[in-house]
Amino acid sequence: MIRPEQMDRRFVEEILAEPGGEHLLTCWSCGTCAATCLVRRFNPAFNPRLILHKAGLGLREAVLSSAEIWACSACDACYPRCPQGIHISDVMRAIRNLAIRAGYEAPGPAAQVDAATCSGCAVCTRACPYAAIERKPQMVNGQERTIAWVDRNLCQACGICVAACPSGAMSLEAMNDAELLTRVAAGGWLEQPGFLQGASDAPRLLAFVCQWSIRAEEEWERLQGLNDEHLRVVILPCSGRVEPAHVLLALSKGVDGVLVMGCHEGECHYQRGTYLGRGKVALLNEMMAAVGLAPQRVRFAESSALERRAFERQVAALREAIAALRPAEISEVRG
Amino acid sequence: MKRITIDPITRLEGHGKITLFLDDRGDVANAYFQVPEFRGFESFCEGRPVEEMPRITQRICGVCPMAHHMASAKAGDAVYGVEPPPTAKKIRELAYTAFVCGDHATHFYVLAGPDFFVGPEADPAQRNILGLIHKVGLQIGRRVLQHLAESHEVISLLGGRFVHPVMALPGGVAKAVSPEMQARLIEIGEHFVEFGLFSLQLWKEAVLGDEAFREMIFSSAYYQRTHNIALVDAQNRLNFYDGQVRVVDAEGRPVAKYPPSEYREHIAERVEPWTYVKFPYLKRFGWRGLVDGMESGVYRSTPLGRLNASEGMATPRAQEAYEEFFAYMGGKPVHATLATHWARLVEMLYCAERMLELARDPEITDPNIRTIPTETPREGIGVVEAPRGLLTHHYITDERGLLKKVNLIVGTTNNHAAICMAIKSAAQALIGGGREINQGLLDRVEMAFRAFDPCFACATHALPGEMNLDVEVFDAKGKRVAYLRRAGDQAE
Amino acid sequence: MSKINLAAYWASSCGGCDIAIVELGEHLLELAQVADIVFWPAATDFKYADVEAMADGFIDLTLFNGAIRTEEDAHIAHLLRQKSKVLIAFGSCAMEGCIPGLSNLVGPERALRRASIETPSTDNPTGVLPQAQYEMPEGTLSLPRLCGVLHTLEEVVPVDFKIPGCPPNHDQVWKALQAYLAGDLPTNRLLGVDPRTVCDQCPRVREGKIRVKRFQRPHEVIADPERCFLEQGLVCAGPATHAGCGALCVKANMPCRGCYGPPESVADQGAALLDALVASFDGQSDAEVRQIVETIVDPIGTFYRFSLAHSFLQKARALTSWGDDPCASQAATEGETL
């Protein structure tokens, strides 16, 4: 039960005064946002309606100390559906700013910079959808160098910077290159020859799947169950995390095809990841064609949490496309 | 037949082997020179952007990267129909002449020098740059190393680094010359001229002053009567950076002068199945096999060929050296292969003076060094005199400036037939008659090709794939087995 | 103290790595105090027969430059491995194939056909190409065959150390030689490098957070000499290239193209550069992203300019063979790790 002394009107006023928080009190608590929220599907503790409601009641301590206020990734799926037109991610941001000033910190995980390896090339600063990374002078092993610094309060753990970093200086818990590769290769899956080499009865596919492009929890489990000798599914935080090196490594080991599943245009949970995923696949396709590999073996497919069985359909389509490759296309000698 | 192989040949750029077949009397029945390397630049340059070609084609040769870089940049200018600003051209020519200064010195001292300063009879373990420095003393040795270092410095100042510099792109150069740089370039230019004069003096004292070497130079073992070509200016003076191609026949008569873009009218190539390098020859004379003389299309594009095919040098001290050379050697044209080393030093002096001239030019510090291309790219030919011979880059691109076809005729390739013949003639003259075949004798055979300063990485990049040419193919008995005529492809 | 025996060899090479050794200049005189050069075809007169006559391990240190393009290259690689205590892959060709590695885009047969005359309008049933064995009246002449693909040195023999660069910077070569002479050798087997990437040595200003709507080519624009190339929309391989050169090309106002190979712990340089470029795309739709991709001309020749022969892309292609490879490898190194 909430007691009156817990309700601090000044907290409400601080939020209203903070840029982004102006419309807090127009919220009806209808729950449409909570019903839409993609984060909530995977993290039921996160409830945007509840956070706004508690904030509106002035429950300073409860709101600022919660881990959940950091979980909103500003994908803005809720924004167009809010009947009051509240830009909810802006309100979240306002609340977070108050939390930072009060000495709270995002619980993480956040991307981490290996200071000894980082050259300060600034690629990550351009990659981050949240402008959470900057170049800052720091002391590293007794020498001052200007290298990347991640603001953990802004980091959404999308992993886009980990893929972008060309020197391996960026890492993210559970989503490092080594960890992803372990999942790809587990059980010797990469050591088996493929269909295009005449050694398997059906094309062997590797699928990198953006966690937001599929439906809810049950889909996750179902997908894991689809793993077999012809299919390996690896979940990514975002299709923008896909590593071209992993795709090429798989092809070099005889994997017949690679599917990269990401969100529809305009629906990327991290604002721009789906565009980066597409860009990478487009360039991979161009290079594959240049070297004489059939570019249709690597494909970007889009899907969303509202679609049923999109993954199976995409896998079947890619299998069909590869099975149809004529020998001339498999080993195209140029000229 | 008894077979002697010299494998690999040494103190040159690139791979090669010489196979001598001796008959029962121990005389050389035949000598074959083969180049066993091949990388295939022309095929994999297709699809590359034309502005990257100076940086890509220079990897054909790390001894003369500047030559490819420059020819490629000029071809890129032509592809876009863009004219670099005057200062950019001067910077290019300055860098280029400085490069030739260094490259010619590298050849004379590091590659060929040991033959003269250490000697063919010396222990092979000593016949190299370290042995040379030991022989001539540290003072001269350090002077040589300093000259090389300064030539490296000029290229590094203007193009970032000496091997595989990055200075040129279509429409100009990337880096301007500041007043501080100019002062240093003038200083180095003055050193270059002194070094050029010093090297000529050294040649006269140590080589011409040695009776045995004098004899070698004038000997028939190292003599070939071939035609000559050179890139010359309007007054028929040798120019390394730009000009027209002049052909002077084996008897010294000028027979043609054409713009480099017309090379296909004048040069054709022969295919042989026992080496990776082809044999260009002058079409007007035709191919008669590996023979010299007026009837044969074989020509030389070497310092000797260039001095023969030009009518003078455009700078004063070099002009004096040019006149002295011909006076001593008995008039034009000179066919003594070993005299090429001397001709190389005359060229080095010219390049030194020209480089200094350009460094002193007040326009050299003008900051306007780029013209942005505006035309649609199509086709272009760029030519320079590489240290080892005339270098032609011919590009055909699509409308985005990506290469569709690449044709290259590279310095040493021009001289391939002459090199084969020089080796055979030296082998046949020096070996046989019961003489003991020792390593010194074999080195004297190698000296025949060394005069050409060959670069076989260059010669084996690959040869033109699509140019308009006539090719005749003969079997080993001299019977013609095929005649190929290919119509060149043009851009639409 | 006795002198070490030093050798330098060029396989399929441009000679630039040998010139890098000549560029040591006065250091060559110092080197001569501690080393005898026992084989170096560019500059000395020792022949293959001299090497064959050496005892195994007679050569203390061999600097091997050039890629393995022909049977002869492979043969000499094995010979020098046998005769050398320490074998160094010297320069980009030996380490990762360098620019000649791009010939793996076309294969040896097409390259040879291209280099000889492409079939003209007249018919030429024999299609003359250079032959491995050819009969002359006096005897047989032989040429080494081309390998099925261009190989790196490590693909045919075990390699002890590597010195990257096209060519290695002569200052770095001297440092590497000194490290060897002092016995001060790194566990990661890379000599002649500085830590991190070219960006670490690049003097240009990086503001950060600047994205690119379209890439431009170096001749299309006069770039600001003080600012990062990538932030001006010009492709630069610096972020994906090992430091060691001192960012010489960038200081000469041209973008880096990656000749020092990938950063440490990065297996595929082209993939790393691709990642870095895509990260800076400023596209908010599929169409916009594709438009930006269009402005990157020749991705394969740009991302893999120096490293194609050593890339996963190459290995994927090699699964479909070019035919018999006369240089079939006997590499001791196992597999690829990231």
Between CA C104 and CA C68 the distance in angstroms is: 12
CATH topology of domain A4-101: Fumarate Reductase Iron-sulfur Protein; Chain B, domain 2 (1.10.1060)
C16 and C51, same domain (yes or no):
yes
What's the CA gap between B247 and B228, in Å, rounded?
A: 6
Q: CATH for B2-23+32-486, among 1.10.645.10, 3.40.640.10, 1.10.3210.10, 3.40.50.300?
A: 1.10.645.10
Residue of C41, C110, C253 with shortest CB distance to B8: C41
Q: Provide the pLDDT confidence category of residue A334 given band limits of 50, 70 and 90.
A: very low
Helix axes B138-159, B179-202, angle to 10 degrees: 140
* C107 and C255 belong to one structural domain: no
C5 and C71 together in one domain? yes
Return the residue of B nearest to C17 by Cα.
B62
Angle formed at CA B14 by CA B12 and CA B16, multiple of 5 degrees: 90
- Asked whether residue C292 is domain-assigned, the answer is yes
Contact A135 C314 (CB under 8 A): no
The 10 Å Cβ neighbour count of residue B91 is 30
**Domains of chain C: total:** 2
DSSP-derived 3-state class of residue B397 = strand
Q: Report if residue C159 sits inside a domain.
A: yes
Scan for tokens 């793993």, then name that residue.
A227
Residues A17 and A9 sit within 8 Å (Cβ to Cβ): no
Q: Torsions phi, psi of B22, nearest 5?
A: -105, 135
Determine contact, residues A110/A149, Cβ cutoff 8 Å. Answer: no
Same domain membership, residue C173 and residue C220: no
Residue of A nearest to C202 (CA): A121
What's the whole-model pTM score?
Answer: 0.91
Cβ-based contacts of C296 with chain A (< 8 Å) = 283
CB A252 within 8 A of CB C316: yes
> Could you give the residue ranges of the DSSP H alpha helices within C187-247?
198-201
3-state SS of A236-285?
Answer: ECCHHHCCHHHHHHHHHCCCCEEEEEEECCCCCCCCCHHHHHHHHHHHHH
Each residue of C198-234: pLDDT tens digit?
999 999 999 999 999 999 999 999 999 999 999 999 9
Does the structure show a pLDDT above 80 at A70? Answer: yes
Domain ranges of chain A: 4-101, 108-171, 176-330
Q: Which domain holds residue C5?
A: 1-111+131-193+319-338
Amino acid identity of B432?
A: G
Chain C residues in contact with B15 (beta carbon < 8 A): 10, 41, 72
The answer to whether residues C61 and C105 belong to one domain is: yes
Q: Are residues C164 and C247 in the same domain?
A: no
Of B156, B175, B466, the CB nearest to C253: B175
Closest CB to C106: pick one of B21, B44, B159: B44
Subunits in contact with chain C (3 or more CB pairs closer than 8 Å) = A, B
My answer on whether C67 and C181 are in the same domain is yes
- C-alpha C42: how far from chain center: 19
Domain match, C157 and C299 both: no
A266: closest chain C residue by CA:
C285
Under CATH, what is the fold of the domain A108-171? Alpha-Beta Plaits (3.30.70)
Whether residues C279 and C224 fall in one domain? yes
Give me the residues paired with residue B471 across strands.
B484
B69 residue type, one letter: H
pLDDT given at position B479? 52
**Spatial distance between the Cα atoms of B59 and B65, rounded to a whole number of angstroms:** 7
Specify the CATH number for the domain of residue C9.
3.40.50.700
Q: Do C5 and C136 fall into the same domain?
A: yes
What's the mean pLDDT in A15-31?
A: 95
Interface contacts B/C by beta carbons within 8 Å: 295
Beta-carbon separation of C279 and A126 below 8 A: yes
B67 neighbors B386 (Cβ within 8 angstroms): yes
Angle (CA) A153 A158 A161, round 5°: 90
Q: Which residues of A touch C206 (CB under 8 A)?
A: 120-122, 135
Contact C316 A248 (CB under 8 A): yes
Question: Which pLDDT tens digits describe chain B residue by residue (492 residues)?
Answer: 788 888 888 888 888 888 888 888 888 888 888 887 778 888 889 999 999 999 999 999 999 999 999 999 999 999 999 999 999 999 999 999 999 999 999 999 998 989 999 888 888 888 888 888 888 888 999 999 999 999 999 999 999 999 999 999 999 999 999 999 999 999 999 999 999 999 999 999 999 999 999 999 999 999 999 999 999 999 999 999 999 999 999 999 999 999 988 988 898 877 777 777 778 899 999 888 899 999 999 999 999 999 999 999 999 999 999 999 999 999 999 999 999 999 999 999 999 999 999 999 999 999 999 999 999 999 999 999 999 999 999 999 999 999 999 988 889 989 999 999 999 999 999 988 878 888 888 889 889 989 999 888 787 764 333 333 333 444 444 455 444 443 333 332
- Closest partner residue to A166 (CB to CB) among C113, C239, C316 is C239
Residues 38..67 of C with a Cβ closer than 8 Å to B: which?
40-49
Alpha-carbon distance of C331 to A192, in angstroms, equals: 21
Instruction: Sort residue C294 into left (φ over 0), alpha (ψ -120 to 50) or beta.
Output: alpha
Alpha carbon distances (Å) from C64 to A295, B330, B485, C15, C39: 36, 46, 42, 11, 11
Within a domain: residue C120? no
